[in-house]
Amino acid sequence: MRIFNKQSELNAFLKSISNDKTSIGFVPTMGALHRGHLSLLETALEQNNTAVISIFVNPTQFNNPEDLAKYPRTLDADVEKIKTVSPEIIVYAPTVDDIYEGKTVSQHFDYDGIENQMEGKFRPGHFDGVGTIVKRLFEIVKPTNAYFGEKDFQQLQIVKKLVSKYKIPVNIVGCPIYREANGLAMSSRNERLSAEERKEAAMIYQTILEAKKKFGTKSAAEVTKWVERTFAKQNQFELEYFQIADEATLLPCIRKNKNKNYRIFIAVFVNKIRLIDTISVN
């Protein structure tokens, strides 16, 4: 398996194998890989003749230094998991200096307001960090297609907006959420949960499924109040936000419009470990 730590070496190798028929499928990750990541790689391999995965814990998208420090870093285990998909997959695992070249700061982006909702509201500067690293990785890898999981749906919309506004020549592909057997959305952060917490966290998915049902007959405000009451009864959870939003604009639903597609978004702390989930309600 080819593993590159320097962009110059990755660029040289990709150039050596490229021709007019080469398509590169790219999966950017922060490591601590799980089945959901591997499904993105499988799709990238199906749709392209070369697949690249990046493993890089990006410091500029963390507004909480403790969260950055505790984020799992498991490169050796990640590589073994990638091999189970295909040993031909190219791994780019750079250092901070290789990416930022001594200037570890975010570029500022205007995403037409979608950056101010939900994650952006509770994690100041987060999407500037996301835009900075994604744009940088696209410049380095120059992929044909890039694959992102729908669990981070707001991030997916941000990346699509980034590509459109900066005219970056890459096709963005959103892929379905992978879930554990109990419904919990697969996340690298799940590795920090105890076995009991992992079991209890299934309540997050169960709650948004019930919220989806209620939205069929109740207003978004009524459903939101029900979710807030539900979590208020649970000592082990702290609800950060729950929102039913327009998929296109990410603006909260005030009054239902049959011509719009809506989606539920939620963020919950389980013993200081932050988990997010989302489902379409259409």
Residues recognised as catalytic? 37
Cβ pair 281, 256 in contact under 8 A: no
Q: How far apart are CA 26 and CA 126, in angstroms?
A: 22
Give the angle subtended at the CA of 125 by the CAs of 254 and 114, to the nearest 5°: 30
- At residue 29, the 3 state secondary structure works out as strand
Q: What does the DSSP assignment read for 43-83?
A: HHHHH-SEEEEEE---GGG-S-HHHHHHS---HHHHHHHHH
Q: How far apart are CA 56 and CA 123, in angstroms?
A: 19
| Long-range Cβ contact pairs of 165-172 (< 8 A, separation 24 or more) | 165/110, 165/111, 166/135, 168/135, 168/138, 170/26, 170/138, 170/143, 170/144, 170/145, 170/146, 171/144, 171/145, 171/146, 172/145, 172/146, 172/148
Q: How far apart are CA 45 and CA 39, in angstroms?
A: 10
Measured distance between the N- and C-terminal CA atoms of the chain, rounded to whole angstroms: 42
Cβ pair 57, 129 in contact under 8 A: no
Q: How far apart are CA 280 and CA 98, in angstroms?
A: 38
